[in-house]
């Protein structure tokens, strides 16, 4: 009897790069998982096209289940991938999905840059995708149906670290803009947004959720 196969995809966010996620990738591999550090051009490729590339890549692999670990905008790539799932098209079962500080409901930082139109050609198409308007791209993406774990970061500084947000945040994302309401488990750590991917506690939490579906040991 064949053993079921499972693969974990690690996906960086806007302005990120593969090396930024390599520490997480190495830890996942050392824990015995088959995994891949998926990279893309976040300044020039819109989320939809990246999601299609990822969808086709996974669809053509011989695996039974897949899990995702994403940082920031990487979560929107996976949510956009859900748009392409079809019962008539083979695709592995999505098992677990761990999001680090995702802009699931956008971010006020994107609102700010959108108001300055000259920024958009430099920042690419995805800045506008991450605005907080209820009709924005981020707010219209499918809600994941798998087990979701959410890791949030705060700086704990007063006044709040980012003046665009009223509650504590990591510099770009606060809990109000990250939560979808369907998470199986949520944990908050002290960190800045970009530094989360190098945080030993974050990596330990990722491994725990991949193994058990919970951040609690």
CATH topology of domain 6-212: Rossmann fold (3.40.50)
Q: What is the pLDDT of residues 91-127, one digit of tens each?
A: 999 999 999 999 999 998 888 777 766 555 667 889 8
Q: What is the pLDDT of residues 4-28, one digit of tens each?
A: 799 999 999 999 999 999 999 999 9
Q: What is the pLDDT of residues 148-173, one digit of tens each?
A: 999 999 987 665 556 667 788 898 99
Report the alpha-carbon distance of residue 169 to residue 167 in Å, rounded. Answer: 6
Q: Which residues contact 86 (CB under 8 A, 6 or more apart)?
A: none
Q: Look at residue 111 in the predicted model and tell me its pLDDT.
A: 84
Residues 161-192, buried b or exposed e (16+ Cβ, 10 A)? bbeebeebbbbbbbbebbbbeebebebebebb
Q: What is the pTM of this model?
A: 0.94
């Amino acid at each position: 009897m064949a053993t079921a196969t499972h693969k974990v995809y690690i996906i960086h966010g806007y302005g990120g790069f593969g090396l930024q996620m390599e520490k997480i990738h190495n830890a996942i591999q050392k824990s015995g998982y088959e995994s891949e550090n998926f990279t893309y051009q976040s300044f020039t490729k819109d989320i939809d096209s990246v999601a299609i590339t990822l969808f086709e890549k996974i669809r053509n692999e011989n695996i039974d289940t897949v899990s995702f670990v994403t940082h920031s905008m990487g979560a929107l790539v996976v949510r956009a991938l859900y748009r392409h799932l079809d019962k008539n098209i083979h695709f592995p079962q999505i098992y677990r999905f761990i999001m680090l500080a995702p802009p699931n409901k956008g971010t006020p930082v994107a609102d700010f840059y959108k108001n300055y139109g000259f920024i958009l050609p430099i920042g690419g198409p995805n800045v506008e995708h991450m605005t907080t308007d209820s009709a924005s791209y981020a707010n219209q993406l499918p809600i994941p149906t798998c087990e979701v774990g959410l890791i949030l970061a705060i700086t704990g500084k007063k006044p709040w670290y980012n003046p665009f947000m009223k509650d504590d945040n990591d510099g770009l994302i606060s809990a109000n803009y990250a939560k979808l309401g369907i998470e199986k488990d949520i944990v908050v750590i002290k960190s800045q947004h970009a530094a989360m991917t190098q945080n030993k506690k974050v990596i330990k939490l990722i491994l725990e959720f991949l193994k058990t579906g919970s951040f609690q040991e």
